[in-house]
Amino acid sequence: MELLLDEVQQEYDDDDANWRNEEQDLIAEKERIQKAADALHEEYNNLKNLMTRSTDEQVQAYVERLDRANEKLEQSQMDMLKVQAKLDKTDESLQIALKTLEEIKPRPDVDVLAYKADASIVSVEGNVAYLDIGSRDHVYAGLTFSVYNKNVPIPKDGKGKAEIEVFQVSPNASAARILTSSKKNAIVPEDIVANLIWDTDASNTFVVSGTFDFDGDGTADGADIPLFVEALLQ
């Protein structure tokens, strides 16, 4: 698409330059014709003034010259109309080209931030993949990622070639078990991973409500809940 856009842009730039040159030529021609018309109009007025002071024979000669000057003036005006028509057509063609270019330009993708890699695969050992992000990036056990081939854009549907789940986290790295993968397109180092609803720049807050029986004695635990929560987090 970028190559097509570049070709269209270059074609538009070339056409625009040609149209601009042709427009300048047409404007110059219009000015030349206008000057000629002004000169003829001045001569027309001079002949008209002189005619009132001339003899009958001179009047006749001047009348003929006046007619010829009038014909030239009409022709000049006609030429000016043709030049203006060409200018109008050039401008119309330019507007059509601009509209066509605008229609084929790719629109900004409002979801582009969601389709970015969160981390990379550092290594793969058996059924475990190691990532280059850890608890400092708010990674936690149970977080899942989709795996994508490196140097390939993440598809709009978010579907990856494999799925992994983090089970061990250190400050700068984490280990994830491979949930699904393909032998034909296996996970390899430098593959990218992403979770389209998780953000490395934000931490998650979890709220738990209700009654709980942590020790399995059949009764709800109350005062001991903080101890159980602390043990769970550890």
- Rama region for 188: left / alpha / beta (φ>0; ψ in -120 to 50; rest): beta
| Residue that wins the pLDDT comparison between 165 and 221 | 165
Can you say whether the dihedral through the CA atoms of 44, 49, 51, 54 is positive or negative? Answer: negative
Task: Kindly calculate the radius of gyration of the chain based on its CA atoms and give it in whole angstroms.
Answer: 41
Q: Which range in 20-24, 147-151, 221-225 is most confidently predicted, on average pLDDT? A: 147-151
Residue 232 pLDDT grade (very low, low, confident, very high; cuts 50, 70, 90): low
Query: One-letter amino acid identity for 103?
Result: E
**What residues have CB less than 8 Å from 112, skipping those under 6 apart?**
none
97-106 residue pLDDT tens: 777 766 665 5
Q: Which CATH superfamily is domain 119-203 in?
A: FlgT, C-terminal domain (2.40.10.410)
36-52 residue pLDDT tens: 878 887 888 877 777 66
**What residues have CB less than 8 Å from 119, skipping those under 6 apart?**
131, 132, 133, 137, 145, 192, 193
**What residues have CB less than 8 Å from 121, skipping those under 6 apart?**
129, 130, 131, 147, 187, 188, 189, 190, 191, 192, 193
Please report how the helices 2-51 and 56-104 are oriented relative to each other, as an axis angle in degrees rounded to 10: 170
Q: How far apart are CA 52 and CA 49, in angstroms?
A: 6
Q: How far apart are CA 82 and CA 26, in angstroms?
A: 10
How much is the mean pLDDT over the chain?
Answer: 80
Residue 173 pLDDT grade (very low, low, confident, very high; cuts 50, 70, 90): very high
**What's the pLDDT score for residue 177?**
98
Q: Specify whether the CB–CB gap between 144 and 166 falls below 8 A.
A: yes
131-161 residue pLDDT tens: 999 999 999 999 999 999 988 888 888 899 9
DSSP symbol at 171: S
Residue ranges of the domains in the chain? 2-104, 119-203, 206-234
Tell how far CA 120 is from the center of its chain: 27
**What's the pLDDT score for residue 112?**
46
| Residue that wins the pLDDT comparison between 207 and 47 | 47
